[in-house]
Amino acid sequence: MVNDEVKELLSHMEDGIRYDIHEVSNQLKDMQTEVNILKRQVSNFEKIIRIDHLWELWEGVPFHEDGIERDRLAMCLVYSMGLRHFVKLLPEQSRDALRMVLDEAQDQ
């Protein structure tokens, strides 16, 4: 009788451990996915701005935190290349996001 209770307890504990291992495995997969996304973002940033860039960063953001310098540079670049060319450079997902922002601004 006692052996059966011990066996049942051990079986229950094994099931719990298997569940925990499965959950941790899923969490690790999710974390690896997030790491891969961050790696791509850093890689994309480094393709645009070479690793030896001389821009000063404030908590990871180029230019001063008030954004004035960043905004001026963005306006200059878009003005010099033209809006059509700028939109051609954007990936489709960014174009969709831009459309949404423009639609929201138009509705206001």
- At 20 the pLDDT is 80
User: Would you put residue 82 in left (φ > 0), alpha (ψ -120 to 50) or beta?
Assistant: left
Instruction: Please state, in angstroms and rounded to a whole number, the distance separating the CA atoms of residues 74 and 45.
Output: 15
- At 100 the pLDDT is 92
Q: What is the mean pLDDT of the chain?
A: 80
Higher-pLDDT residue of 103 and 10 is 103
Higher-pLDDT residue of 96 and 36 is 96
- At 25 the pLDDT is 84
Higher-pLDDT residue of 16 and 104 is 104
- At 38 the pLDDT is 73
